[in-house]
Amino acid sequence: MGLNFSKFRTSVKSNYLKIKRSSSSINLTNPSLIKKNVRDEFKFIDGRRYHNVENIHYFFPNDDLEIDRLQLQHYMMRFIWRSNFSSPVRDLLDEGGARVLDVGCGPATWILEMASEFPKSEFIGVDVVPVMPLTIKPQNVNFEQANLLDGLPFPDNHFDFTYIRFLNCAFPFNLWTTHVIPELIRVTKPGGYIEIMEWDTEIYYQGPITGQLMDALVKEIRYHNIDDKIPEKMTSFLQDSRKLKNITNDSRDSPIGKHGGKVGTLALDNSISAFKLCETKFSEELGLTLEEYNALFEFYKKEVDDYKSQIRTHRFWAEKI
C-alpha cells in the first residue's frame, strides 16, 4: 500500500494544533461548572477522566489524552478513506441549507472540518458529555449535550444527513435495533442519508502477542455487555428497520505498524493507547506486572511489522424511505 504522506502530514499538523487550541470546553475557573461537569458528569479512575452516564456502556476515557488520540485518529481515517463521508450528499452540502447531525461527536474534529468545507450548510453535534469546543467554532456549528438512548432533542424528519462513528463500544447489541438505529432514522428526513462508520474489533495477520492483547480487549468489551462483532451485523440491522433503502457498505484495510509508513505508525500508536486504557485489568488478565505489561509493547511493535498486520474499518450508509 503506497502512501504519499507529505501533504497529509502538513494537514494533520495545522488542523490538529488549531482544533486542540479550541477543544477545551470545560471552564474549571467557574465554580458552577466544576460542580455540574466534573462532579456529576465525570468520574475519575486511575487518574483518567470518564463519563458518568449510567446507561452508556462506553468505557473509554474523555480526558485530554483521549481527545488528542481521537483527533489524530480522525486525520488517519480521513487519509485512509480519502474523504470524511461516503454518502451521496456532497452536492446537497455544497448547495447549502442542509442540516447535518453528528451523534457522539466527542471533541468534534469531524464536524468542525465538515463545517469549514461546507460553509453554506448547518452542522449540529451531540455528545453525552461536554468535551466539544463550545466557544471557538464556525458560525454554522452548534452543539447539544444529549444521550441518544434517552432520545435526541430534535423533531422528526429534521436532518438531511445523520452521521455516527466508532460507537460500537457504547451500546449493547440489542439497543442498536431498539434504540440507536430507530432514533437515527426518526430525526432524518425522508430522502436523507444515515451513515455509520465502525472498526473491526480485530487485528488481521496477528502474531501471538497481538493475539493475547486482542483477547484481553475483547474480554473487556464483552464484560461491558458489548458485541465485538457489530460491523458484521450492521447491514442486517439497517435492513431490518424497513425504513431505509439503497443500503450500501464499504471497507478499507490499512496497515498497522512501521511497515505502513506514517499512517501505519499512527494506527500502531492508536492501538497501544487503546490497550493501555485498561492496563491494570489487562496486565492481571495476562499474569503480568504493570511494568512487564508495558514492556510487552516493544515486542508488539516488532511483531505487527513481522506479520504485516492490518486493521479494517467500515462505512454503512442508507437513504431514509
Question: If we measure between CA atoms, which residue out of 109, 127, 159, 154 comes closest to residue 58?
Answer: 127
pLDDT of residue 131: 77
Pair 159, 99: CB distance under 8 Å: yes
Q: Looking at residue 59, what is its pLDDT?
A: 63
Q: What is the pTM of this model?
A: 0.84
**Alpha-carbon span 77 to 162, nearest angstrom:** 18
| Beta-bridge partner residues of 249 | 316
On the question of pLDDT at 39 being above 70, the answer is no
Say what the pLDDT of residue 35 is.
35
On whether the CB atoms of residues 16 and 75 are closer than 8 A, the answer is yes
Give which of 42, 33, 29, 26 is closest to 128, Cα–Cα: 42
**Three-state SS for 65?**
helix
Count CB-CB contacts under 10 A for residue 282.
22
Residue 7: per-residue pLDDT: 52
Region 75-98 average pLDDT: 96
Of 201, 139, 215, the C-alpha closest to 169 is 201
Cell of 26: 470545560
Helix pair angle (261-276, 64-81), 10° resolution: 150
* Rounded mean pLDDT, 286-301: 94
Calpha distance 140→113 (Å, rounded): 11
Closest by CA to 164, choosing from 267, 237, 270, 265, is 237
Ordered by start, the domain boundaries in the chain are 7-320
Res 46 pLDDT > 80: no
Q: Which tens digits make up the pLDDT trace of 104-161?
A: 998 899 999 999 999 999 999 999 887 788 777 889 999 999 999 999 999 999 999 9
Helices (H), ranges, 109-240: 109-117, 173-175, 181-187, 208-223, 230-240
Query: What 8-state DSSP symbol labels residue 193?
Result: E
* One-character DSSP codes across 218-262: HHHHHHTT--TTHHHHHHHHHHHTSSEEEEEEEEEEEE-SGGGHH
Q: Which of 23-37, 217-231, 270-284 has the lowest mean pLDDT?
A: 23-37
pLDDT, position 224: 78
- What residues contact 151, with CB distance under 8 A and at least 6 apart? 183
Residue 89 CA from chain centroid, whole number: 21
What architecture does CATH give domain 7-320? 3-Layer(aba) Sandwich (3.40)
pLDDT, position 12: 45
